[in-house]
Structure 1
Amino acid sequence: MGDRKIKAECVASTGEIFNKTTIDLTSDETLTIPEHGQRQSRSNFFREAQFSPDGTTLVTQNDDQCLRTFVLPPDLLDEKSTPIQLQEYASFSPPSNIQSYAVHPFFNLQDPSSTLVLHSSADQALALRNALDYSTIHAKYNLISPTTERYLTTYSITFTQDGSHFVAGGSNQLSMFGCSRDRSDPILSHKLVPGKKAKKIYGAESLGCKGIVTALAINNDGLLAVGTTQREIGLYADQGGGECSVAFSVAAPPSEKHTITGTGVMHVRWSPDGKYLLAAERQSDGIQVYDVRNMVHRVAWLNGRKAQTTQRLGIDVVPTADGFEVWAGGTDGCVRMWSNPHQKEGHCGPDSTMALHDDPVSSALWHPTGAVLATCSGRRYDKPEAADDADDLPAPKNEDFMTTNETQARKPDNKMAIWTVT
């Protein structure tokens, strides 16, 4: 581990609001959330947070399946004795589980017509809503099975660079939509695994990757990275509109399997120059770094992340004057940073570690200007019968849930917080 010392000071947080849970052992041992949960939930932890591109707003997803909008106060960085209490500006509870969401790349709080959030929910059309008033629907998009006429599940979504289109990832399928086309079908779709007809026409070497698409990211050159539950990554040209140019597995060779493990790619991120791709998996203690210029060569393995869990723990890539940094949260409540991982080789420990929460940190992301760090945390208490995640992925195994006795012994840390870092 590096010796760089970093100090963090909390300037705003949601405080105890999302910790107000009660245990009802007479009703299937569920937890109820009277103030914020429209549904019963075991623990209303924060699953994810996303900054708006203008840096004014955070949109979160909690375990009660609500999307929430938090507008940061203008006096956020003014000197004060106690942290500011963050209050939700708007919220939305869909009729079914949220699978994924994305903030529009031209979100501008000064222009309410641009404050848009796209989300996918199980058995529903994809919807583009206004994050300041979720009842305002700008458009809906149909992704329907031609054989069953049921909505197909979308597990990941991302906007193209100009915000005019978006790409949706499903089971062995990519679909592209035009944002302005309300109630439209995809303008194009890719089957990730070439079918028999395609192999006959194009040959057995046709590229593709298989699995449920759980991660999407586009670099400045318009190359779309696709990560799947089968530990595979595919690179598609023209922001997903083109064909697959490279496909590879992130599984380690036999000689390294004792140190490089995982059960599916959950996050992919590009370096600022678009030359390096970072991939983070479930139940993995590290982040893999690939050089896409050299036949997708893995240059480094960022270990010590503390993410041996099926819970999704996000990563963030931040440009710096001499390269970039990778930030990620762990199950121990710590946030870790790796500096310029593209300049390193082999297994690399974090350069800095900060203990910020008492529960797993699901998101650790920097303000677009680099002014503040936002984190959100929490975990599920009491092991449920079904999968641990809200999505419809295969049921995970070996999750480290807290038991009822542990729940009573300590208070959950379901919180979003804003930090200044020096």
Structure 2
Amino acid sequence: MVNDTVKTWIPSCIASTVYSADVDEVTESETPLARVPESDVNAQSFKSAEWTPDGTTLLTDSADHHIRTFVLPPDLLDSPSDPSTTLFLSSVRDHPIRLASALAPVSVASYSLVNPTTEAFITPHSIIYPSSLGGTHFLTGSDSLICLFDVSRPGKDGPVSWLPTIPSKRKQIVGGGIGMKGIVSALAVSPTGDGILAAGTFTRQVGLYNSNGSGELLGTFSIAKTEANRVIGGKGITQLVWSPCGRYLYIAERKSDGVLVYDVRVTGQMLGYLRGRKAMTNQRMSIDVIAAGVDGAHEVWAGGTDGFMRGWKNPMYAAGGQDPEWEMKVHDDTVSSAVFHPTGSVVATCCGQRNNPSSPSDSGPKESNRKKRENSVKIWTLPS
């Protein structure tokens, strides 16, 4: 069903990655973020993008296992902040967690997450380095486990806190214990300073913990058996985002056409859901929540597989399903990330998906991969 009330906006692209063969196609209003070899159009397949806290640099994660840094031109924004806050964390299987600088390809420090019994590396499936912890600690989520690390203690010492999300594997097997079992695939710390950590799993459960994940369990709930499940689907939590006021929790899943809205004051109470996201895929597709005025007003933004990004205004005030308020075409492929600059006036988007070569049995002339797929990063200004 088409919703005629959705407002179609036309954003202005002010910067983008440029492939070597397309340099002549850049408009005068666009600033090239980087010139990329034509051979990278399929290899890159941008999976996600994220701003550094100071807003001067954009980091991307790609399907070719590379993290790329895009430093914004000084004249692109009116007043960029201190470019020194550009440290980021990354992890790969069977290796320590790495702290590095986005401005130099060198490792600043590394941290070991090792099973004390088997001495095998534990692979984090989620990592957060929240500003609410002052840059001194970070958190990881793995199989039924949340760990807290002290940045000032690199090396083999490991986490300063180990928090199993189930009391014990033995109790869980025999049916006892309270908690949640499964890979911790998403983490988010409340922005209000109350130290509440939300953790989500691929088994579609959410747990709330105090003391930034090193304290006691406040409660768990499942998102599987809800009214929204029949409408928008969902096959495992991929992202948790708090509202700016710290009262509402937004839950994004793979294979889902929307976003769930929960009031964390009443653990497990779903307020409603956002529909029309267009994300029925196993690919991780991130959402963003931005403040939009006073009295806790905010918006939720997300990209879709159809190349659009969409926004929902004050979704916490509507019960049941809510359609997007705005939509705008930003890419010709799956929009894996749509993230707002800290100033709120600029948004970065990236797109791409894994691309299989054309089958030899295809009839007719074959298009080039460049025409079939768009893998790019773009910076936009939104209409007022």
TM-score by length of 1: 0.78
Following TM superposition, by how much is the alpha carbon of 1:8 offset from its aligned partner in structure 2, in angstroms?
A: 0.2
User: Aligned partners of 2:332 and 2:368: how far apart in 1?
Assistant: 13
2:181 corresponding residue in structure 1: 210
Q: 1:239 to 1:407 in 2, by over 3 A?
A: farther
- Residues 1:9 and 2:12 are matched in the alignment: yes
2:146 corresponding residue in structure 1: 174
1:343 corresponding residue in structure 2: 317
Is this contact kept in 2: 1:207–1:244, CA < 8 A? no
Task: Give the paired residue count.
Answer: 353
User: Aligned partners of 2:203 and 2:22: how far apart in 1?
Assistant: 35
User: Aligned partners of 2:164 and 2:21: how far apart in 1?
Assistant: 41
Q: Relative to structure 2, which stretch is displaced further, 61-70 or 257-266?
A: 257-266
Which of 81, 92, 95 lines up with 1:124 in the alignment? 95
Which residue type is aligned with residue 410 of structure 1?
A: K
2:160 corresponding residue in structure 1: 187
Is this contact kept in 1: 2:42–2:373, CA < 8 A? no
SS in 2 for 1:410: helix
Structure 1, unaligned runs of 5 or more? 21-32, 79-106, 384-403
Q: 1:301 to 1:6 in 2, by over 3 A?
A: same
1:224 corresponding residue in structure 2: 197
Which of 111, 115, 123 lines up with 1:145 in the alignment? 115
Is this contact kept in 2: 1:121–1:153, CA < 8 A? yes
Q: 1:196 to 1:211 in 2, by over 3 A?
A: closer
Q: 1:5 to 1:229 in 2, by over 3 A?
A: same
SS in 2 for 1:15: strand
SS in 2 for 1:259: helix
1:53 corresponding residue in structure 2: 53
Instruction: Report matched runs for 1:211-290 at 5 Å.
Output: 211-219=182-190, 220=192, 221-253=194-226, 257-290=229-262
Following TM superposition, by how much is the alpha carbon of 1:47 offset from its aligned partner in structure 2, in angstroms?
A: 0.5
Q: 1:19 to 1:377 in 2, by over 3 A?
A: farther
Q: Relative to structure 2, which stretch is displaced further, 8-17 or 308-317?
A: 8-17
- Residues 1:62 and 2:23 are matched in the alignment: no
Q: 1:336 to 1:273 in 2, by over 3 A?
A: same
Q: 1:18 to 1:372 in 2, by over 3 A?
A: farther
RMSD between superposed Cα atoms in Å: 2.7
- Residues 1:417 and 2:378 are matched in the alignment: yes
Q: 1:36 to 1:214 in 2, by over 3 A?
A: farther
1:381 corresponding residue in structure 2: 355
User: Aligned partners of 1:189 and 1:283: how far apart in 2?
Assistant: 31
SS in 1 for 2:117: coil
Following TM superposition, by how much is the alpha carbon of 1:74 offset from its aligned partner in structure 2, in angstroms?
A: 1.5
User: Aligned partners of 1:70 and 1:277: how far apart in 2?
Assistant: 30
User: Aligned partners of 1:127 and 1:52: how far apart in 2?
Assistant: 17
User: Aligned partners of 1:172 and 1:19: how far apart in 2?
Assistant: 47
Is this contact kept in 2: 1:117–1:131, CA < 8 A? yes
Which of 290, 299, 309 lines up with 2:271 in the alignment? 299
SS in 2 for 1:248: strand
User: Aligned partners of 1:262 and 1:299: how far apart in 2?
Assistant: 17
User: Aligned partners of 2:108 and 2:21: how far apart in 1?
Assistant: 30
User: Aligned partners of 2:77 and 2:88: how far apart in 1?
Assistant: 26
Following TM superposition, by how much is the alpha carbon of 1:121 offset from its aligned partner in structure 2, in angstroms?
A: 1.0
SS in 1 for 2:273: strand
1:158 corresponding residue in structure 2: 128
Q: 1:42 to 1:246 in 2, by over 3 A?
A: same
Is this contact kept in 2: 1:18–1:45, CA < 8 A? no
Which of 310, 319, 329 lines up with 1:355 in the alignment? 329
Following TM superposition, by how much is the alpha carbon of 1:109 offset from its aligned partner in structure 2, in angstroms?
A: 4.3
